[in-house]
Amino acid sequence: MNKNDLIATVADKADLPKAKAADVVDAVFDAITAALKKKEGEVRLVGFGTFSKSKRKGGTGRNPRTGEEIKLKPSTSVRFKAGKALKDAVN
């Protein structure tokens, strides 16, 4: 499923025009992004899952093509942990 498929599904389930459903989906994504940008950024959607920030250390790695060592910068990534209801629905 891609974003357009999600918008079509939301429009169908909520009986909304696709343009309005697109606004709703974009608003949800923007709200999740804004919450994760905050210092203690975490978004808990009970029954669905939790989005959280995770810091990665810098270090050294290797270029797989040349074998040359490269320096990796510290970075922040987003993690998702599925909730119980989502896990049960998928199984």
State pLDDT tens for residues 10-40: 999 999 999 999 999 999 999 999 999 987 7
- The predicted structure's pLDDT at residue 38: 86
Confidence of residue 53 (pLDDT cuts 50, 70, 90): very high
More confident residue, 2 or 38: 2
More confident residue, 47 or 40: 47
Number of domains composing the chain: 2
The verdict on 67 and 79 lying in the same domain is yes
Q: Which helix (H) or strand (E) holds 91?
A: none
CB 25 within 8 A of CB 46: no
The verdict on 24 and 68 lying in the same domain is no
Q: Which residues pair with 59 in a beta bridge?
A: 72
Residue 62's domain comprises 41-91
Q: For the chain, give the percent of residues with pLDDT over 90.
A: 92
